[in-house]
Chains A and B, each alone.
Chain A
């Protein structure tokens, strides 16, 4: 018997706002526990909620990049439950009138392309974080994350394979981070994904018993969880040893298993009701247009422009368009050095290797693009050689040096004086009799060694091409 896995995703994404959804506390990740907390977001009385307009605009942006229908009027509602990470005892979310509905995202997998449809996206506030302290055997609460704005992107049950889920998450991450809506970092919790999964016999149109898996903190973990959970469902259907129940399960990536979280299921009635503390938000065409204008050129449009108009390789274009920051660097450098292929080579070959060594992500690379362009120009104009250029770029990245001045101060300009070069070549020939004989005997391998020796003699400042030519001439 063949089975079909049916999945729907709930993806929570923290919005890249400066402040929280209903107060002016910083929404940044990584502060000391309870540093970003005020009377309002710690639930004290007397603090009316006031909507962060920027969060609504990022919500509109999320609607636009997912082709969703934006509501003319959206409201906020209250969801009631007691938990220590929720200081007010209710979460402000959108239940009755979310910001948008009926969007879609196209994905590519090895099986081809597919359109994933979205039920809705709603804006809500995040909860705090419980930290279990094994030393005192107590539980502590960190309210930094409380009330940080989120969007929850709810898909329809359109997924059939883990590949599709992975492709969708990659696509969402690209769409959202590219538009500056969220930094989408799973390891920091700014992107989280719950998977609703059920299994049915192939050809059946009745959905099987559904379980929801939570607590996966990487896309790989999600793929593993889907693999495990679907197999668990299939085993249950085949052997009838285990009865499937509709429940929420926690994924334990270390043990590669999902576990029931039944305790939390008990309080199933959230008593949703419209939040009387917040006015409905009216979203008109003018506002949507305003947000649309602030959005960067979509990644796929830019990709097309890079490959078609600029004639750049697809591979390179894909890397650049994977990060808005790389796109910005590319544009800025290209403004000074109008050789697209050259600029892409420098970014891919040099800048990215520097940033990888430094452990900096593509989105966080911070470099003075004018100086970056100056390095390329120095190499291009044959003032320094490529190897020196590479070192200059590192200095620009690390210390922000002015490449031109640095070259002058440190005498890094290429040795272009032919007499000096000839002297160096002659000296190398004289000092390496054995290698010279080998070369004359037909060995090409030693030629490279001899070039290296000349470069060494000139402190790396010679133009390798001139050295090549000169050496060949003088050895023949």
Chain B
């Protein structure tokens, strides 16, 4: 009888066995690099994936043995993240963004050209193993779409013509950086350690994005005052979290400072995954020193010695650059031991990359991920400020928040409060994309109206504006007088504009709903299922089979999501709910009137296979 569990070396050629041995050696080196620490599983898997292009069972078994955790415990992390694979993904792995903006900018033609030229469909690898084609959620390039990552290198403004060239060159054996013919991007993008064609597109500068920033100035200033005074200044500034949730930063710092612990952590959340957001990418590119300084200030204020900069995998092309900046900070003594000569003030930063999961932008999921686990949000309480990374008090702040703190320290809380509105002080860096003349990054004071913004970016013929990304609100003309602020239209930075030619339900709402389905962690019964069933309703309506009741069902079913654990589940129906509220006539136009019920059953389609098999012409009586 054949062994049901064959030894993995069965039926292998000698050459393959030798290859497997060297592969195992490489994995052992990687494990050594991370001290055989299971909480560094993300890094171990990221390095393994980039070394071999995929992570096969043999490697999982080796990691399992060395870390003394079970295979399934490794696979649960491995299978959670989009950019890990257990199967070969091609010598060149293309991840083409499928966000709503990519589609608006011509993704469909680009995708079809990729398939034709590579000779395989999306989700497959070409027969020669050279090219793998995959779709991915927003990669933070909404102002230069359609865009794709090829082995981590960003290709922007793709056209069918460029895709033909790229595939031809890859087949011809050219290296990735040789095939960027457009020239390099502006600012730091052109530095050899980034060497990218990505553009910053900074359109409007405010105090955060202003020129003339002097690294270390704020750090030297706080050396003269007590940590409590730093927190008091931050509280006085009234700044709230810039990642979207809007929690008062000073309060967060104070709770963390007061939490008793021998060790504390400062996390910077650079996992911007909300479709249409790309402002943190620009800050990371142009103002990383300011960000590091903000993290060190946070460390000083709450008494943390370690910082972790969690960067989304899509921005891995910035790795060498960011590491160099950190190294430079150490040399200048802005990081490391006894910072700025202050005895006992130690603070250092490491970078943690994600591996493709929107939900990791939620602070507790981000911490889980940094601990090498699935990015499932935690139950709260306890909150990260009390028990976060490795169960230690942890602050998680957005990139822009930490940069704003540096300016608050430099110029004072009252200066900061002189900008914006009473409840929403200061400025906001926003990412604008979609149907407008000047998409890009703008730093504006809180309190601008949507109309102001539309004029600023050169948008006309506007049908709708998505404020705050898919988890935000879709508004129409009658609400363009509303203002951007925490008390009216809150946004973590994403503003997407749709003109009157767009089909909001098909192009926007369906795309956003698919996004939430793809990105749900799956832990809550509600979030795992309701969006899937809402999509079925949307598709029914788009197929002209919808009735009035389907719209009502969507509104009712969406309420069930309010029992979900985290922000993703709580907002997953926002595209549907806010579009029904603000664009009801679009739905009414697509449904059947004078009909109370439609089963959505397609008899012709149902019997097609059997009719084809027996060569019968279906004879269906319609009622």
Q: Decide whether A and B are members of one complex.
A: no
